[in-house]
Amino acid sequence: MAVHNPSHCLFAVPKKGRLYEQVTDMLKGAGVEYYREPRLDIAVCKDLNMTMVFLPASDISKYVGEGNVDIGVTGIDIVEENASEVERVMGLGFGKCRLCVQAPVASNITDLKSLAGKRIVTSFPTLTKKFFDPLDEEMGVTTNIRFCFWVGRGGVWSWIGGCSC
């Protein structure tokens, strides 16, 4: 069983998904060795004063920003969505994310301005609000932004899609 040494650096990495695979490949290439027991989200590194903490990618910036872990890897979209106060040390060149607007073809929407004032369902409400606020002000409307976790994750699409990464 992994036991964290309080003097170790706590390094948060995504616990699953493509970003997890890319980060663990990068760490392996850098010579970072650890053994992660099945169903355990902590692993002490071999030959380094570092403990790996495996968290949902969407939580990592919060943990870093609140000082619960020392360093972490997650997407800049997540950092911005969470409004986390963290220092971006460097971009790693992987894990690209693109936020997309999607609407039914039958709606004949060709201009994003036509969505201002409508109901927008998204898994990124903060970024969506930031995008629509200037349009709302320009047009004198208020866009109704609602959160739905599954938008853009192979589930529901309604007006605006979430992350297609």
Q: How confident is the model at residue 1 (pLDDT cuts 50, 70, 90)?
A: low
> Where do the structural domains in the chain lie, given as residue ranges?
9-82, 99-163
For β-strands 99-101 and 160-163, DSSP reports them as antiparallel
- Output the CA–CA distances (angstroms, integers) from residue 79 to 10, 24, 49, 63, in the order listed: 18, 20, 26, 11
Q: What is the pLDDT of residue 135?
A: 94
The answer on pLDDT for 160 being more than 70 is: no
Please give the model's pTM, rounded to 2 decimal places. 0.74
Q: What is the pLDDT of residues 70-104, one digit of tens each?
A: 999 998 888 888 888 888 888 888 777 777 777 77
DSSP state string for the chain? -----TTSEEEEEESSHHHHHHHHHHHHHTT-EE---TT-SEEEEETSSEEEEEE-HHHHHHHHHTTSSSEE---HHHHHHHT---------S-----EEE---GGG----GGGGTTSEEEES-HHHHHHHHHHHHHHHT---EEEE-TTTTTTS--BSEEEE--
49 Cβ partners below 8 Å, 6+ apart?
5, 7, 8, 9
User: What's the pLDDT tens digit per position in 19-78?
Assistant: 899 999 999 999 999 999 988 999 999 999 999 999 999 999 999 999 999 999 998 888
**Which of 3.40.50.10420, 3.40.190.10, 2.40.30.20, 3.90.1150.10 is the CATH number of 9-82?**
3.40.190.10
